Amino acid sequence: MAVDYTVIVVYLAGMLAMGWWGMRRAKSKSDFLVAGRRLGPTMYSGTMAAIVLGGASTIGGVGLGYQYGLSGAWMVFTIGLGLLALSLFFSARIARLKVYTVSEMLDLRYGGRAGVISGLVMWAYTLMLAVTSTIAYATIFDVLFDMNRTVAIVLGGSIVVAYSTLGGMWSITLTDMVQFVVKTIGVLLLLLPIAVVKAGGFSEMKAQLPTGYFDPLGIGGETIFTYVLIYTFGMLIGQDIWQRVFTAGSDRTAKWGGTVAGTYCLVYALAGAVIGTAAKVLYPKLASPDDAFATIVKDELPVGVRGLVLAAALAAVMSTSSGALIACATVANNDIWSRLRGAVRPGATQGGDHDEVKGNRLFILVMGIAVICTAIALNNVVEALTVAYNLLVGGLLVPILGGLLWKRGTAQGALAAVVVGGLAVVGLMATYGILANEPVYYGLLASLAVYVIVSLATPATDAAVLAAWRERLAGRGSEPAAELKEESVTR
């Protein structure tokens, strides 16, 4: 195990070193929050794939494969579909807005009256997303070092908080590129073929397992539909995802770089399901499906390779955690704190200076401590993740997509949709249970109905607001002067 430990320690030290390097590049608000809006296709694709494929996609995806076979790929597959839809149909327009948060986009579209409430919903989502990723450290460090759960969360969380606080999005972008490479090598090129060979190949897997394990729809139509609602639509509107879109150096990078990342997610989904299916052949009676990943890595991989694959799992968790953390801090500072203090005019964007970088850095540190403390207090990752996505989709999907697609939507309709959809989701989770499908179904329908009815019953959005919105969508609106001269990074 000494070699495995060395691989992990070197990996973690490298993450901190990149955080220090990123600090030297984060000279403005734009640099710190959106990497200067100048990533080229290679870095954009890698970092986008890294953030959406976290611990749930890696450890959870293998667990679903263990439980359901090839149809266990659907959860991660719907994430890939969402990223493809975002990239092909919306990302170029989103990137041209030159904003920092989803709530700023809502303010631009509806006239500056949606920011704080939508910001609170988005903050709750990003906080819980960061918490679920942080909880996953306990599983990985337990396999590596037989470490106490609390100590594991504090150790892993502290590393992510450290490099995120130091360099902001530049540090996270650099570490995500490394994490993307490590995940590709560890999961796709090493664990996948080794797991299949150890299980005797596909013919032996088919002979050992029920035919349902090889049914593409075996997980159930209702489950697949729920995944589409939560994850596919969630990819379209999450602050953590949009903040990566804002880093693109051009419309083309946002569209085609994201398409490459989405396609990669589809491959990753199938790989996780196959690995889980192989684990079912090798270990038919595991106590929990989520133990499949750690078990097959620990028992079947040779020394050195095992360390790299565990580093891949750690990379998956850290990439999602850091992306959610900076999103949470950005929303808390720009959409909630600054607005409540009256420091930022609704819909305005600013160039950055040293004080703004310092302020955002402080918010990442504070939010990071809050995430670590919350992760220690919670136990159920699935429930926390479900709460996060239900709030996001139920509260914000309709006003965001409505604003992009329906010009008759109004600020009053958007606010009503956020409030009614969010409260409906919370109330229905209390009634049906957190893991039930009904909360997101009915919450989304209630949000849609209220949005349409209230929008039609209230005066249309001011023509000047819509005109300014169209200019920004076309890339002709005002933007921070500090961002105009920056060149795209091509690699």
User: At residue 465, what is the residue type?
Assistant: V
- Contacts of residue 12, Cβ cutoff 8 Å, sequence gap at least 6: 159, 314
**Structure confidence at residue 428 (pLDDT):** 93
Query: pLDDT by residue (tens digit) across 1-23?
Result: 677 778 778 877 888 787 777 77
CA distance linking residue 415 with residue 398, whole number of Å = 11
pLDDT band at 224 (very low <50, low <70, confident <90, very high): very high
Longest dimension (CA), the chain: 68
CA distance linking residue 421 with residue 392, whole number of Å = 9
Cα–Cα separations (whole angstroms), residue 237 to 83, 85, 327, 417: 10, 11, 12, 15
Query: pLDDT by residue (tens digit) across 387-423?
Result: 888 888 998 999 999 998 999 999 999 999 999 999 9
- Percent of the chain clearing pLDDT 90 (strictly above): 39
Best mean pLDDT range from 97-101, 310-314, 315-319? 97-101
Query: pLDDT by residue (tens digit) across 165-194?
Result: 888 888 888 888 888 998 899 899 999 999
- Name residue 39's beta-bridge partners: 248
User: At residue 202, what is the residue type?
Assistant: F
Mean pLDDT value across the chain: 85
**Structure confidence at residue 143 (pLDDT):** 65
Cα–Cα separations (whole angstroms), residue 360 to 26, 355, 372: 11, 9, 18
- Contacts of residue 24, Cβ cutoff 8 Å, sequence gap at least 6: 167
161 is written with which tokens? Answer: 């908080």
